[in-house]
Amino acid sequence: RELDSRPQFSKSFSNEDTVEMGGLPGLSFGEIAFDYALDDKITLEATIKVKNVHGIRIPVFTDFSIPRGGSDDVILRVADKEVHTSKNFLAVHSPVFHTMFFGNIVEENKEEIEI
């Protein structure tokens, strides 16, 4: 059979439905194999809508374009953008920034640095 000659099937499930080996609710394995198999293969496509997430940590993204106060002690100017951040944070993650802020060079005492 050709792909276009197969019957179309659409089924919605809720979180109350359970799917067991051998079939889907309202559709037996025999019906799937006979009506939907093409070259002895069945392809299923699923779309899942997640309503709630529990127990999974969602990453927090920081907007460095606005001052956060507290730990911010330097502004990096990159083109026409400002990056508000901490010298210590950058120095821990980059030897270049460590040298720039703590290596007795001119940027060490600046509160704004053009990159």
pTM: 0.45
Tell me: the pLDDT tens digits for 67-89?
877 788 899 999 889 998 888 88
Question: CB neighbours of 9 closer than 8 A, spacing ≥ 6?
Answer: 27, 35, 36
* pLDDT, mean over the chain: 76
pLDDT value, residue 111: 85
Question: CB neighbours of 61 closer than 8 A, spacing ≥ 6?
Answer: none
pLDDT value, residue 61: 79
| Ranges under pLDDT 50 in the chain | 1, 21-22
Strands 23-24 and 27-28: antiparallel
pLDDT value, residue 1: 47
CA atoms within 13 A on the CB side of 113: 18
pLDDT value, residue 115: 85
pLDDT value, residue 93: 92
pLDDT value, residue 77: 92
